[in-house]
Structure 1
């Protein structure tokens, strides 16, 4: 009897445990079913676009900063901000008396070098006089030497007289050769000094003309950085000049995405000054150097159709189109867990993803458009 009761008690415990498990399973299914009423969706076939986001700044094409080549004081700004300029038009005038004095000194040095080289001064004329006297002395000594040489060959005269004429001849020859070399050397030195003086004078003339800062392009003056009376140095810009009509779009792309960017890719952008409008552009240039301060690369694009009015520094946002695909199986990004699985009625299922946008992702395989999926808990 006790054995029968024990068997009955064990069977009752097993039945009670099974009932509890079934109750828990039914409760989970009920929770999933209730949750599915709100989060249950099906993948859809639609177009998906993968893009790279970037911030946008509008700048004039060929924008550059104009610098002075000489130091001085800004005498006058010859243009105003917003004025159109042509290539070669003066922008600013600088005052500095030092180069003018240097130019005058260079002119006087050039004149002296010309006189010295032309022979009007005593430098070459003195050597020329010595050279003429040495030539006459050499001719005279040469005649006497040859005459005495012939007499000595005939046995006429003394040996000491012959040797004396020979010595005088050799000395005059040596003196003439020395003066000829001196004349050539001095003339070459004076020619070099003349060329140097001419170069210095031309350089001083250039420096005096560099007091006027001129435009290098046809465009517009966008900024004047110095006021009249302020000190100007060669390391500080005086003005910013750029094209008047053509503007470029400067985009800062994160280093993670820069390898996806190529010239010719389409760009969709919005500007804060034109709310609600979307403009189209095309990538025109990729700068290869990374900005270490913000870990970004500079990318330029050109408007397909420019807005009616643009100003330097206008800001906005852009999406650079990397790729597009039609009839892609797409789900919301927040339904994807850990980038490789989705929650279905049968639990989590592994999937392979493709293109991704800001809020959607393409599913290549693992589920179909008839597979119900649920939003996973965060």
Structure 2
């Protein structure tokens, strides 16, 4: 009986030792380290279309999926007030121009007064000069001389006053024309704001309002983006963002194409963290892309942060506490380098001839 128990214990011991002696040798291979990110396909230059004015949506000139060119109309907002203001400012501008050109009574009347004043000055000047010569010859009275002189001076002063008044009135009318033109141009701009146009050559991807609905400046009317160029929006965990830089290679798997792999490059890294998701936004551009893409296609991506050839590696599960491996001669300290989800680079401590043992889980 004791002999059977001893035999059973030996078998169990051997089995136990067999589990502990699963061993491998380090291998030299290309070690690829990457950062995981969720991926979302979006059109390039995608923007939300807003109205700068409030009103009622009167017309929709496009449908979802339509291609548009820069400046083409998308929506018409109804509001009668700006149109009336434009017509009123146009009338005011016409009146101001007529007054400035002189066909109105204001400047024409002033010109006639100046003409009359010039004739009177000419007459008073002749009379004064004649009386002055007579007085120098001691002909006539001093009173007559003084009256002729006073009439001449009054006529000269009156002409100066009229001419100054004419120039001042002309400047005022010219300024009124400028102000009326500015007001009219502002009214045109205000009216044009009720017709919303596309900012880019692209495609209408969504329309959020129907004819007859109230339009405000706070709600988007549509989404417009590039027709053919798409970006990959990547959300990267904050612990990995420091590993990224522009032009790194991106491997993309899209749910819509489960059997295919696509490549891209990091294009832009946004510096602000999303506090809700604790992630950073990164944009990548396709180098190899599907023939058909739609906004919102989702998937996963791996951003290649390092790629080392002929590197001594071991499976990550054989590493203990990030610095030790188990060998037949006992624990050995190692120096590690890059690693990915499954493998780690060994810089020193063991070589490709060392047997390492898988530790117990």
TM-score calculated relative to the size of structure 1:
0.81
Give CA-to-partner distance per residue, 1:112-141, whole Å, 9 cap, x none: 112211222222223223322332333333
Of 318, 321, 340, the match for 2:323 = 340
| 2:57/2:212 contact within 8 Å kept | yes
SS at match of 1:70: coil
Give, in whole Å, the separation in 2 of the partners of 1:199 and 1:43: 80
SS at match of 1:237: coil
Structure 1's 342 and 157: CA in aligned 2 closer, same or farther, altered over 3 A? Answer: farther
Structure 1's 275 and 141: CA in aligned 2 closer, same or farther, altered over 3 A? Answer: same
- Which sits farther off after the overlay, 362-371 or 46-55? 362-371
5 Å-filtered alignment, 1:316-331, equals: 316-331=299-314
Structure 1's 159 and 31: CA in aligned 2 closer, same or farther, altered over 3 A? Answer: farther
Question: What is the aligned length?
Answer: 349
Indicate the residue corresponding to 1:9 in structure 2.
none
Is the aligned partner of 1:300 residue 2:275?
Answer: no
Of 21, 24, 29, the match for 1:37 = 21
Give CA-to-partner distance per residue, 1:55-85, whole Å, 9 cap, x none: 1110112222223343211123222222333
Give, in whole Å, the separation in 1 of the partners of 2:181 and 2:275: 48
Structure 1's 340 and 179: CA in aligned 2 closer, same or farther, altered over 3 A? Answer: farther
What runs of 5+ residues in structure 1 fail to find an aligned partner?
1-28
TM-score calculated relative to the size of structure 2:
0.84
Give, in whole Å, the separation in 1 of the partners of 2:328 and 2:155: 123
Indicate the residue corresponding to 2:3 in structure 1.
none
Of 73, 87, 102, the match for 2:56 = 73
Give, in whole Å, the separation in 2 of the partners of 1:308 and 1:328: 37
Indicate the residue corresponding to 1:93 in structure 2.
76
Indicate the residue corresponding to 1:241 in structure 2.
224
Indicate the residue corresponding to 2:97 in structure 1.
114
Of 258, 262, 266, the match for 2:241 = 258
SS at match of 1:319: strand
SS at match of 2:258: strand
Structure 1's 236 and 165: CA in aligned 2 closer, same or farther, altered over 3 A? Answer: farther
CA RMSD of aligned residues (A): 2.9
SS at match of 2:304: strand
